[in-house]
Amino acid sequence: MRTAYIQQMGAFNDTLGDICGRSGVAMEKATNALLQADLAIAEEVITEHDEIRKLSKRAEEEAFTLLALQAPVAGDLRVVVSGFQIVADVDRMGALALHVAKVARRRHPKRALPEEVNGYFAEMGRLAVELAYSAREVLLTQDPHQAAEIEEQDDAMDDLHRHLFTVLMDRDWKHGVAAAVDVTLLGRYYERFADHAVAVGRRVVFQSTGVVPDEN
């Protein structure tokens, strides 16, 4: 029974890691679509999101199987219950990449972003992809120390998100309300994507140690 549990848990984490990796790829493509006003890439992200949803559903089913058939207790129960929460986090990461792609599609053939914020979003996109791959790695390794480091990677994303508001609030902003709304929403999508990657890391720490990391 123990061997079966370990094998099933490994397969479950592999599925979660796969979703993280795909979400990272989706965000990279969505960022390119956004910066280049590339409709074809945006449509690619939107179409490929169906596969992320299928994997999320499979991960949920694997978690229920672990809960129902293995009847975990103590530490194993903690791992499985946290697994359900991780499913929600990685699924949401994919959905946020989808939102970015949809903004790019909605504004096509125009660019959704004013030129002066392109650099912010190029860097936010890079950081989001890096965080997604870090989350994938810790899901596969279950290394609590590596998982705890994800939160430090998120600091740069938070800084960029804050700086965006200084641009939006500048009296010289001349791009109108619609552009300001797009920039605000897009900034939030990237920030939340990063937050979910951090949440994955925190949950892996909890799974491994039984200790909830201090948010501060």
Average pLDDT over residues 53-70: 90
CATH of the domain at 125: 1.20.58.220
Work out how many domains the chain is built from and give that number.
1
Range scoring the smallest mean pLDDT among 163-167, 185-189, 194-198: 163-167
Residue 109, in any domain of the structure: yes
Residue 48, in any domain of the structure: yes
Q: What is the DSSP letter of 214?
A: P
Amino acid found at 165: F
What are the Cα distances from residue 64, in Å, to 31, 39, 75?
34, 38, 17
172/29: higher pLDDT: 29
Residue 101, in any domain of the structure: yes
Average pLDDT over residues 62-71: 83
Q: What is the pLDDT of residues 104-157, one digit of tens each?
A: 999 999 999 999 999 999 999 999 999 999 999 999 999 999 999 999 889 999
In 3D space, the residue among 17, 166, 175 whose CA is nearest the CA of residue 90 turns out to be 17
Residue 215, in any domain of the structure: no
Residue 216, in any domain of the structure: no
> pLDDT > 90: what percent of the chain?
76
Residue 205, in any domain of the structure: yes
Residue 105, in any domain of the structure: yes
Determine the number of helices (DSSP H) and then strands (DSSP E) in the chain.
Answer: 7, 0
Tell me the pTM: 0.93
Buried b (16+ CB within 10 A) or exposed e, 51-82: ebeebbebbbebbeebbeebebeeebebbbeb
Q: What is the pLDDT of residue 29?
A: 98
Per the CB < 8 A criterion, the answer to whether 138 and 205 are in contact is no
The mean of the pLDDT values for the chain is: 92
**Enclosing domain of residue 81:** 2-209
Per the CB < 8 A criterion, the answer to whether 138 and 204 are in contact is yes
Residue 52, in any domain of the structure: yes
Q: What is the pLDDT of residue 172?
A: 85
Backbone angle region of 212, left / alpha / beta, with phi > 0 → left and psi within -120 to 50 → alpha? beta
Q: What is the pLDDT of residue 213?
A: 77
**Residue 1 — very low, low, confident or very high, per pLDDT cuts 50/70/90?**
low
**Residue 216 — very low, low, confident or very high, per pLDDT cuts 50/70/90?**
low
